[in-house]
Structure formats: C-alpha cells, structure tokens
Amino acid sequence: MARTQFNVDQFKTEAVKPLFAVAGATELAVELARGYATEAQKATQGRITEVQSRVSDVQARVAKADFEPKTLQAQARTRVEELKSEAKDAQVRFEARVADLQKDAREFPAKFEALLNDALEELNSTYAELQVRGEKFVAAIRKDGVKAVTSVKPAAAKPAAKTPAAKKAPATKTTAKKAPAKKSATKAS
C-alpha cells in the first residue's frame, strides 16, 4: 500500500483559506450595510428638511390669505376669467391639431403608395442582382468545380438591404469545403 506524505504546514494553509474567504465576505457585507444605512439616514434627513420647509410655506400662505368674503369673491372672479381664456386657447389649439391630423390623413394614401412602390422597386432590383450573381456562380462551378467555390472572396460591406445575400455566400462556401474533405478521407481509406 502506497503511503502518502502530507506537508502539515501546507495543509494548514490550504485548510484555512475557505475560512478567510468567509471572513472577507462578512467584512464586505458589513461595509455595504453601513454604507446603505448612512445613505438612508442622509436621505431621510433631506426629506424631513423638505417637508418642514413645505409646511412653513403653507403656513405662510395661510397667514397671508384673506378670508374676507368680498376678497374671496374677487379672487374667484379673476380665476374664472383666467380659466375661460385658457379654455379658449385650448380649444383653438385642439382645432388646429385636428385640422393637421385631417390633412395628414388625406395625404397618407399617396405617401403610403409612394413608399410601397419604392420598396417594390428595390425588391425587384435586388432579386435581379441575386439572380445574375447566382447564374455567374453556377456557371463558375460548372466550369471550375470546387476551385470556384474556394476562390469566392468575402463580400465588401453593402447597404443593410443587401447584407443577407452576403451572409448566405459564406454558408455556401463552408458547405462546399466540407464535401471535399469527406472525399479525401474516402480516398485515403
């Protein structure tokens, strides 16, 4: 039976490491808790000060308020007049907004048709480009075989509408490269 020798000092050092990790985590937790408590105390003190200032502002306004019926009636009349003028302004703004929306609604079909025609033209041109590119690629494969596939260069950056075609080309390359590897493995056998 093989005897294993232990280095006692190394064993002590390694056995204590998890305890040190727990102690470090505890210290970090205490530090974070103290920080949060300090922040909470500061926030609470700030809110208390804010509430006290609001209360003093309200008390000052109440002290200044004149509760005489004639004064209150005059204040109410002026406020009613202000509200009437604000309501008239709001009505004018609302009517102007409705007119703008009606104008946009009348123009929408023409705008939509123009956008649709542009999209269809782009779709047709992209389709035609892909068709021409595919024909050239198939002709190259028929002529050169695998060499045509391996000689395909990575596509340059193109507009967003044409990037899906560029992404499909590398997939074709990797598929074609795997086939010759299987053939060479078959020949080697």
Task: Give CA–CA dist 114/108, Å, rounded.
Answer: 10
Distance from C-alpha of 36 to C-alpha of 30, rounded to nearest angstrom: 10
Q: Could you tell me if 134 and 150 are in contact, meaning their C-beta atoms sit under 8 angstroms apart?
A: no
Residue range 99-117: average pLDDT? 95
- Residue 51 token pair: 């509430």
DSSP string, 134-182: HHHHHHHHHHHTHHHHHTPPPPPP--GGGHHHHHHHHHHHHHHHHHHHH
Residue range 39-92, pLDDT digits in tens: 999 999 999 999 999 999 999 888 887 778 888 888 899 999 999 999 999 999
Give yes or no for a contact between 155 and 169, defined as CB atoms under 8 angstroms apart: yes
CA 174/CA 189 separation, integer angstroms = 24
- Contact yes or no for 164/180 (Cβ under 8 A): no
* pTM, full prediction: 0.35
Three-state secondary structure along 69-135?
Answer: HHHHHHHHHHHHHHHHHHHHHHHHHHHHHHHHHHHHHHHHHHHHHHHHHHHHHHHHHHHHHHHHHHH
**Average pLDDT of the chain to the nearest whole number:** 79
- pLDDT for 8: 82
User: Residue 38, Cβ neighbours under 10 Å: how many?
Assistant: 10
The answer to whether 138 and 148 have CB atoms below 8 angstroms apart is no
Which residue pairs, CB below 8 angstroms and at least 24 apart, start in 144-147? 146/176, 146/179, 146/180
Per-residue pLDDT reduced to its tens digit, 126-161: 988 888 888 888 877 788 877 766 666 665 555 554
